[in-house]
Structure 1
Amino acid sequence: MKKYLIVFLLLTLNFSFGQSRTFNLEWNGSRVMATESSSIEVPSFNKESLSYSYENGLKYVAFWNTDAAIDESSISITNLQTSSIRSSELKDLKPNSIPSGVSFKIRNTQARERRGVYVEFAPIFRENGMLKRVDQLSITYQNRQSSQSRSTVAISNSVLNQGTWRKFYVDTTGVFKLTKSFLNDIGVNTNVDPRTIKIYGQGGRMLPLLNSEPYPFDLTENAIKFVGEEDGVFDNNDYILMYAEGPRGFNEESNTHNNIFTDKAYYYVHAGSGFGKRIQSYVEPTGPSTLTINSFHELQYYEVDEYNLARLGRRWFGDRFDFDSDKVFEFEFPRIITSEPVDVEIHAAAVGEVNTSMSVRINNADVDVFYFDPIDDPILADDDFFSGEINLSSSQVSVALSFDNSGNPSSIGYLDYISIEAESELEYIGNQFLFLNKDLALESGVGTYEISNAADVDEVWDVTDRFNTTSINNVDSNNLLSFKTQLGEVRRFQVVDFNDTYEPKRDGNNNVLNQNLKGTLLQDEQGEFQPLDYLIVTREDMLNQAERLAQINRDQYGLTVKVVLIDQIYNEFSSGNQDVGAIRNLVRYLYDNVPNPDEKIKYLCMFGDASYDYKDRISNNTNIVPSWHSYNSFSLSGSFVADDFFGMMDPDEGTMVPSDQLDLAVGRILADTPQRAKELVDKIESYYAPEAYGNWRNNFITISDDVDEPWETILQSTTDDIGNLVSSSKPFVNVIKIHSDAYTQESSAGGQRYPDVNKAIFDAMEVGALVVNYFGHGGEDGLARERIWDKNNVQELNNSCKLPCFVTVTCEYTKFDNPNRPTAGEFLYWNRDGGAISLITTTRQIFVSVGVAVNVILENYLFALGSNEYPSMAEALRLTKNDPAISGIEQRRLIFYIGDPAMKPAFAKPEVRLTRINGVPVTEETPVLNALGYATIEGEVVDENGNLLSDYNGVLTGTVYDKQIDRSTLANDGTTSQNGQLIVLDFVTQGEAIFRGQATINNGQFSLDFIVPRDITIPVGNGKVSLYAKSDSPLEDHSGSDSTVRIGGLNENAAEDNQGPLISLFMNDESFVSGGITNQQPTLLAKLSDENGINTASGIGHDILAILDGDETNPFKLNDYYVAEVDDYSQGELSYQLRDLEPGLHTLTLRAWDVYNNSSLAEIQFVVFDDNEVLVVENVLNYPNPFVNYTEFWFNHNSSDLLDVSIQIFTVSGKLVKTINGQTSGGGKNGNSVSRDLVWDGRDDFGDRIGKGVYVYKLKVHSPQLNKTVEKFQKLVIL
């Protein structure tokens, strides 16, 4: 249990000397705690200290850093000031949730080497029936004189390190018999001295969640009884008896009798290398017996785990009460002492739209009635329980449950479990059984157990220490078997009858390969000690891809990375049984055994998908690398799945209370198949590829929801504040603000929509950004109630090599643990042609107030405000969760990191700076850049200290922006504030890009020239120059910006220009000919040129616009996609992907303007085929034709996937002379409609030249993806 100090303030207050701290509560009315689908109003005080959950109610929380741990037992409350409140001031707080007295909790915390103190108390309480609130509370405390020592398991080899090992399993608890034939069947060599046979294992108990609870960190040998081993030969009649624990037995942390992870408990067999552990004789305590014990506490239960009611958490339920609303459960206690009451506990739940109930009758007597509230989002089920004593008059116990659905047939009841504990006579009745007596814990001295009718009992085993069983022999077959036991504790004994044993069971593969995680993970290849930076946990079928990821991180960051298989962890740390505690314990072992704090493990990657179902009860389950699930299993805001569990290393952590602090950055690769694993690692690899370097790395996209209700104004204002904060702190970052309410809302059959917001997100994402942050409503299907960005959109996104970290502190956007409902977040992450490289995202509903706090703090760490040392994205989230401002808020656990936890955002290094503008040093007053004026900007690439990098050579991309633009939202929903004013956000965006070009960098210096467009805003003001430099050797990039450049006015002496630009259009590539075929998402390519340059300044009517099929109401604005050529502002190109085009003929026109506002128009036609249904091959030819000794075979196709191609060449008489096989690809999702990959030298299959003349060839193209084939015939001529 947690070492909380609980002080009930109704007691006399204590006073002491020491350090002090005062907590002032500034009460200020009420606040709305809102999620996607619900809200609750609660009394409000200091927002940084207010914590609320449906389960724990309203709390005041505080956290502060400290150099030394405090003595938790020294806490004294020295001042308590309260005031009375009315019940109406509780708002939506339930009166029964108000405690009687202030319960004060305080504990030490630690995150790596940073110490802290966490405080929590109820700010509203009852005293003598009156409601009171805390206005001020002061405490004094002493620092602890010495720090607590960590319980560290020293580095050692695993027992599995050598020898031959086999395993078997049990599914119940008791005495098992292992025969020679059984051991032979599982592969054990029985031709050895049987005294060397050993059995290892911990049985089927779940591992403790709390780190400080002891549990073996390797397989432990069990004492066994080997009948017949004395002669050193394993005869056919010899056998082993052992006590084994199955996967059933009450677990207090999860309130269940069933192991939630497994239905099997594994044990391991090893032979050789010394004699094994054997059951020794029981040593009775000395001293006279003062108590005779002839009864025991007998537990029986009924619990079936079949249904997870809300697909949340780790609670599962059994029997359904729907059409069959009445059920009876029978129990038999043949030895019951009826004069003693029995303890009965019954837990049940219901899911219904109305109030329902369940009556409980035991032996025809009414006992209780459970009452269940209707579901009310975010609460998706309700439970109730009975716990009490019942008097019985017989050994039969009949529990009758009757569910009343209140006339609503959709309401269903569920049984969790029935548990009955009776006091029974200690009598043998023909079957082995386990006994204990709880009352002995309260006694002292020595007592005597007496077992009656014991003539057939061979032995009684003390199994309190399950690894070191000891035996009491009944050699004389005494009918009354007695032995002494130590009182003051509860010891467990097993009655053994050699003729009544259980049989072990086996899987198909019982072989266990040698392994040694404990002994090797902290070693280098030479066997020397080596700290580990990064651990990857995966399943065997994904091992190759996990190893690829490991190598990427070795190469990119110089990390020491190792990959382990999940089954290997289970073998060493949980006796072969699935258990999240085993993974955590391995990480603790690695963390604690590195003495240098700076060298302790930093990153953990869970490489594989996870599910709320640990046991594969649901179809299409994806429980590959399990995650931790909360006991709360009904609330979308209070139940959570968390990998944080694996990163909490301190002794008092593990139960996931709000004060637990993360020591590791943890991430998850959401791979549900080996193919998906490959695709995701491919994306990670591409993040570091040369083609991923580009000025998109300077971009940050912020997206906000609109304001449907007054309180939602915080959604867009917080988003805007984040953008402004990053822009001011990191000037090189270009912030693209997409406030939904700044666009026109439209009505549709499906509700209100923002089509222009959807397009703006598409365009901004495909231009590229390093980070995208959305704040607002959302869910599994996408963002915002207006569906501004849904799960279909994220799958259509094509931003390969421009992959952002996608931040969505919104509800359930990436609720990945339900395999049967993929979410928008998952599709975004899985997108093979783009999407996101990582997600900082939510898996459950989060309160908006929590989202505000998390979002602001996260950006400070993610963008490393005040520093140029960027943490990994997962580390930024770890620091956020540990930040004192939110470290007591339980809902921070809902935020998940999806991706490689060691990956750092690809910010370019500092710095690129301007040195001259039109020849004038920037340290002086520089000339204004006038419209139609010739501009030259010069600059250099420098290091962090401002020194020129004189050996830096590469290409600079420079973007010149006009002055900032003042904008306002449109109040589309007409939402007003309390004073009746429309809620409008005034905000500032970066100016329009007036030039985007490239220049060569020679020896660290560059010069970029261009003509300033006529369409700039004429008033003079400061614009911005955004700079990005890339060098190929070595591969690195730098960025910078300058906001002192002045732009405005008009060059009155500009030369005349009356000619529009030249435009050439293509689809997918430059080999395309107008009228050719494409897939449904082709890419438009446009090459533009003009002696004075192309206008991108967005003057009214002067945008680069594409019109598809004459639809002028939905043009494509392409300014942001145009980039001038290197060192030549007069020409450049753009590419833009079209989406979801209907099959058939399409016509696209593109109009572009030069900087003098002269325009030109170009047109292209193309035929779209449905690339999901039809494979189309057209325009088959060979070029040149005729030819002598070289020709290429060309054809158009509409596939974006790999195609198998075969060409057979025949004489005119039909004789086959040559076969050419090969492959061609569409080049990704865009599709490259022209194939020219197959060539021929005019020789036959034997390499001989063939005669001149006319030949016929057959082109055969096969799509494995569609399983379709197309054949075409054509002629060629050899000269």
Structure 2
Amino acid sequence: DDEYVENGPRVSDQIHMQQAEAFATEAAPDFITVKKIYIGTYATTFDAQTGGRRKPGATAALLNEINRGALIVSYIGHGNAHVWAHESVLLDTRDNQLIDSGDRTPFYLAATCSWGHFDRPLNEAHPEQLLVKPGGAIGVVAASRLTNAYSNNRFALAFYERVFDREAGLSAGEALQLAMIDNPDGTNKYYHFFGDPNMKLALPSLDVALTSVDPDSLTALGTARISGEVRDADGVELPDFDGEAVVTVYDSADTLTYTFKGPDGQPHSSMDYQVSGGTLFRGLVSTTAGELNAEFIVPRDVKYGSQNGSVHMYAFNDETDGVGATSGLKISTQSASSTDHTPPEITVYFDHPNWREGDLTTSSPTLFIELDDSSGINLTGEIGHDIRAVIDGDKEIVLTEAFVYDRDSYVKGSAEERLFELEPGLHQLEIWAWDNANNFARTETSFMVVDASQEITLNNVLNWPNPFEDRTSFTFELSTDAEVTIKIFTASGRKIRKIGPLQGRAGFNYPSDAATNSLEWDGLDDYGDPIANGAYLYVIKATSLSGQSDEAVGKLLRIR
């Protein structure tokens, strides 16, 4: 939260950002990547109806981190059972429908008043809503009554000290209990745990240590190699560990200054805070016999001569995982020469790789972008050099932090982003990207968002190959998600085969898209016997969740 309250800036409320920065720099373990959302640093708008201050950029950033599966969402500031901050940075009635982190549901700690006001049966607090919402929250710690900023901060720091202790391995409920014992302030008794108190945060049990950096000072446009090894809690290497690792290399952090306003609206005081340096590399690498190696090309956009870059490594397999972080990474004052003038290659699609330009999507599709460049992709986030999606020329979505290189590659990778609340109709999409040599690429495509309220329609039905010898596949386009059945008949009208029901999705459906069966037919009837040569009819029927249906008839030919 910032220093603004209902009647303007208040000196005593400067404490929220100061406490948040102290936590980020002093309490968060090195292996935790902290994303700071200080709402005072975002542009202010005003609600057209109430005139209240709003921070839409901060809200968008918060929802983005939630939906990407943040381990913990931590808030310090003003609030009540339904909202965070006077600027409504998180508002249940507005934002709950936009929260969907899939299976990576975060844990929330809100050091604020009354967000956990659970004892009103007819007025559910936001934590209660998040717990029962798919993709909402795995657990929440929040207060049920009014609290104060100083006790909130002491309680939160004590909780994090306990819950981040990997050696102690405490559950979240135990960490809450001990934090309340350590800080018996009168208002801390109002904090409650929403969820299973025996739950433990998904903290890796193993360590990943950086073993070498080659060269020892990274050179812009030069190739670098990062090596590490997986170790147990005693620091012993684990030669039996085989799996994968995500390696992220950061440039040196930036120090910025925020100026607080006084009640008269004039500058009152200031606070320095750090933000993570640009990302130099983020990729998936193989981990064999406990060892991992990542190669990458250093971007041109680095802080030449800086001394405090960092490497974060997360290794995992089906049984266990490990994490580690090391700072002090040096950047050379020099730059390697480059003759690369070729921009990245861009591939874009929605929901599945078979999507094509102009195809249908739902109002909340997942956007996929694949990038390929011999010099690697610029992930630093320098001004103007982001990976960016632009919808209809005005809605911009930054995808830089979502990009991950493919396994053991530093030239090819992808980013994905769930989109929300797209209006029905035809839309234009632009994708921008830069490579590490700052060559710019741009591509355009179009897509059609279906109206979820419209009647279901089934279009572009065909089978291929046609004629076929042994097998043929069915494709079709749906206006909305639906249950699909395919029935095949002889020319005289006798049914010989039924396929399905299948779960079809809005847009084009291909053989690889079927959730419960296959859109491929093996040329056999319901008894497993091969059909004779000749002409056959098929009927594809799609039924929506509301019970509406549509069907299409096609003809196929079997020739062997």
TM beyond 0.5: yes
**Residue 1078 (str. 1) matches residue 367 (str. 2):** no
Residue 243 (structure 2) pairs with residue 954 (structure 1): yes
The C-alpha deviation readout for 1:752-805, integer Å capped at 9, x for no partner, is 111110111122223332111011122232222211122232332232232221
Q: Residues 4 and 86 of structure 2 are in contact (CA less than 8 Å); yes or no, is this contact kept in structure 1?
A: no
Using the alignment, how far apart are the partners of 1:863 and 1:724 within structure 2?
14
Map 1:583-732 → 2, pairs under 5 A: 704-708=1-5, 709-727=10-28, 730-732=29-31
Cα distance change, pair 1173–808 in 1 and its aligned pair in 2 (3 A): farther
Superposed displacement of residue 1212, structure 1: 4.4
1:881 matched to which residue of 2?
180
CA contact (8 A) 1:795 1:828 kept: no
Structure 1 distance, partners of 2:408, 2:253, is: 27
1:799 aligns with 2:86: no
Instruction: State the SS of the aligned residue for 1:756.
Output: helix
Question: Equivalences for 1:535-554 in 2 at 5 Å?
Answer: none
Contact 2:27 2:157 in 1 (8 A): no
Task: Measure the CA separation in 2 of the matches of 1:767 and 1:1160.
Answer: 26
Q: Distance in 2 between matches of 1:1233 and 1:1136?
A: 21
Report what 2:39 is aligned to. Answer: 740
* 1:1061–1:1089 CA contact under 8 A, matched in 2: yes
Distance 1:1173 1:873 in 2: 46
Aligned to 1:788: 89
Q: Summarize the Cα distance change of 1:782–1:1277 in structure 2 as closer, same or farther, 3 Å threshold.
A: farther
Deviation at 1:705, TM superposition (A): 4.3
- Residues 859 and 989 of structure 1: CA distance in aligned 2, closer, same or farther (over 3 Å): same
Tell me the equivalent position of 2:311: 1025
Max Rg structure:
1
CA distance 1:983–1:835, change in 2 (3 Å): farther
The question of whether the paired residues in 2 share the 8 Å contact of 1:1146 and 1:1166 is answered with: yes
Say yes or no: does 1:1097 pair with 2:346. Answer: no
Q: Structure 1 residues 1271, 999: closer, same or farther in 2, change over 3 A?
A: same
SS of the aligned residue for 2:199 comes to coil
Q: Matched residues in 2 for 1:820 and 1:1199: separation?
A: 34
Distance in 2 of aligned mates of 1:1232 and 1:855 = 49
Question: In the aligned structure 1, how far is the partner of 2:305 from the partner of 2:256?
Answer: 17
The amino acid of 1:820's aligned partner reads L
Q: In structure 1, what is the Cα distance between the partners aligned to 2:74 and 2:479?
A: 35
1:1206 equivalent to 2:507? Answer: no
1:848 Cα deviation (Å)?
3.0
Measure, in 1, the Cα distance between the counterparts of 2:160 and 2:243: 31
CA contact (8 A) 1:1145 1:1167 kept: yes
CA–CA distance in structure 1, aligned partners of residues 483 and 204 of structure 2: 41
SS across alignment from 1:855 = helix
Alignment-derived partner of residue 818 in structure 1:
120
Q: Does 1:1110 align with 2:393?
A: yes
**Does the aligned pair in 1 maintain the 2:3–2:11 contact within 8 Å?**
no
Q: Residue 788 and residue 1028 in structure 1: after superposition, are their counterparts in 2 closer, same or farther (change >3 A)? A: same
Change (3 A) 1:931 1:747: same
Match of 2:324 in 1: 1040
Distance 2:21 2:353 in 1: 41
- 1:915-950 deviation per Cα after TM superposition (whole angstroms, max 9, x unaligned): 11116xxxxxxx211211211111111112221111
Residue 270 of structure 2 aligns with which residue?
984
| Matches for 1:200-599 after TM superposition, within 5 Å | none
Aligned to 1:422: none
- Tell me the amino acid that sits aligned with residue 900 of structure 1: D
Matches of 1:1043 and 1:1086 in 2, distance apart? 31
RMSD over aligned Cα atoms: 2.3
Does 1:894 find its partner at 2:184? no
TM-superposed CA distance for 1:1252, in Å, is 2.8
Does the 8 Å contact 1:769/1:802 carry over to 2?
Answer: yes
Point out which structure has higher relative CO (alpha carbons under 8 A, 6+ apart). Answer: 2
Shift of the alpha carbon at 1:1189?
Answer: 2.6
Task: Give SS of 1:779's match.
Answer: coil
Among 158, 161, 165, the alignment partner of 1:857 is 158
Q: Which amino acid aligns with 1:1158?
A: N
**CA distance 1:1018–1:1081, change in 2 (3 Å):** same
* Structure-2 residue corresponding to 1:1129: 410
Identical-residue share of aligned pairs (%):
32
Cα deviation 1:934-968 (Å, max 9, x = unaligned): 11111111112221111111111110111111123
Alpha-carbon distance between aligned partners in 2 of 1:790 and 1:1274, rounded to the nearest angstrom = 50
Partner-residue secondary structure (3-state), 1:1140: coil
**Cα separation, 2, equivalents of 1:975 and 1:1175:** 58
DSSP-derived class of the 1:764 partner: helix
State whether residues 931 and 1048 of structure 1, in contact with CA within 8 Å, keep that contact through their aligned partners in structure 2: yes
Distance 1:1206 1:970, change over 3 A: farther
Q: Residues 68-111 of structure 1: CA distance to partner in whole angstroms, max 9, x if unpaired?
A: xxxxxxxxxxxxxxxxxxxxxxxxxxxxxxxxxxxxxxxxxxxx
In structure 2, how many angstroms separate the alpha carbons of the residues matched to 1:1041 and 1:890?
Answer: 38
| Distance (whole Å) between structure 1 residues aligned to residue 224 and residue 495 of structure 2 | 66
Q: Aligned partners of 2:459 and 2:13: how far apart in 1?
A: 55
CA distance in 2, matches of 1:777, 1:788: 11
Q: How many pairs were matched up?
A: 547
Amino acid at match of 1:785: H
Deviation, structure 1 residue 1069: 1.0
**Matches of 1:1275 and 1:969 in 2, distance apart?**
69
Partner of 2:282: 996
CA distance in 1, matches of 2:527, 2:509: 32
Q: Which residue, out of 451, 463, 473, partners 1:1170? A: 451
Residue type at the aligned position of 1:969? Y
Match of 1:918 in 2: 214
Q: How far did 1:1118 drift?
A: 0.7
State the Cα distance separating 1:831 from its structure 2 match: 2.4
Q: 1:1184 to 1:895 in 2, by over 3 A?
A: farther
- Match of residue 770 from structure 1: 71
Q: Cα distance, 1:1142 vs. partner?
A: 0.4
Query: Structure 2: how far apart are the matches of 1:1172 and 1:825?
Result: 30
Alignment partner of 1:757: what SS?
A: helix
Q: 1:1006 to 1:1231 in 2, by over 3 A?
A: farther
Query: Quick check: 1:958–1:1026 contact (8 Å CA) kept in 2?
Result: yes
Do 1:912 and 1:941's aligned partners in 2 also have CA atoms closer than 8 Å? yes
Whether the 8 Å CA contact 1:726–1:863 is kept in 2: the answer is no
- Distance of aligned partners of 1:983 and 1:1271 in 2 relative to their CA distance in 1, 3 Å threshold: farther
Deviations 1:651-677 (A, max 9, x none): xxxxxxxxxxxxxxxxxxxxxxxxxxx
What residue number does 2:550 align with?
1270
Tell me, in whole angstroms, the C-alpha distance in 2 between the residues paired with 1:1002 and 1:1160: 36
What amino acid maps onto 1:856 in structure 2? L
CA contact (8 A) 2:259 2:267 kept: no
Answer whether contact 1:710 1:977 (CA < 8 A) is retained.
no
Give the equivalent residue in structure 2 for 1:562: none
Cα deviation code 1:950-1007 (max 9, x no counterpart)? 1111111110111111123354xx43499x7434332112212121012211111111
Q: Does 2:520 correspond to 1:1239?
A: yes
Q: Are the structure 2 counterparts of residues 1105 and 856 from structure 1 closer, same or farther at C-alpha, using a change threshold of 3 Å? A: same
- Secondary structure of the structure 2 residue equivalent to 1:1129: coil
Conservation of the 8 A alpha-carbon contact between 1:765 and 1:799: yes
* 1:1016 Cα deviation from its structure 2 partner: 1.2
- TM-score, normalised to structure 1, is 0.41
Aligned mate of 1:809, from 100, 103, 111: 111
Q: Is the 8 A contact 1:710 1:983 kept in 2?
A: no
2:430 aligns to what?
1149
Cα separation, partners in 2 of 1:1159 and 1:777, compared to 1, 3 Å:
same
CA contact 2:487–2:499 (8 Å) conserved in 1: yes
Instruction: Give, in whole Å, the separation in 2 of the partners of 1:847 and 1:1076.
Output: 53
Q: Please, which runs of 5 or more residues in structure 1 have no aligned partner?
A: 1-703, 920-926
The whole-number CA distance in structure 2 between the counterparts of 1:1038 and 1:1198 is 44
The AA in structure 2 aligned to 1:1238 is L
**Distance apart, 1:1277 and its partner CA:** 2.2
1:59-78 to 2 correspondences below 5 Å: none
Structure 2: how far apart are the matches of 1:1144 and 1:797?
24
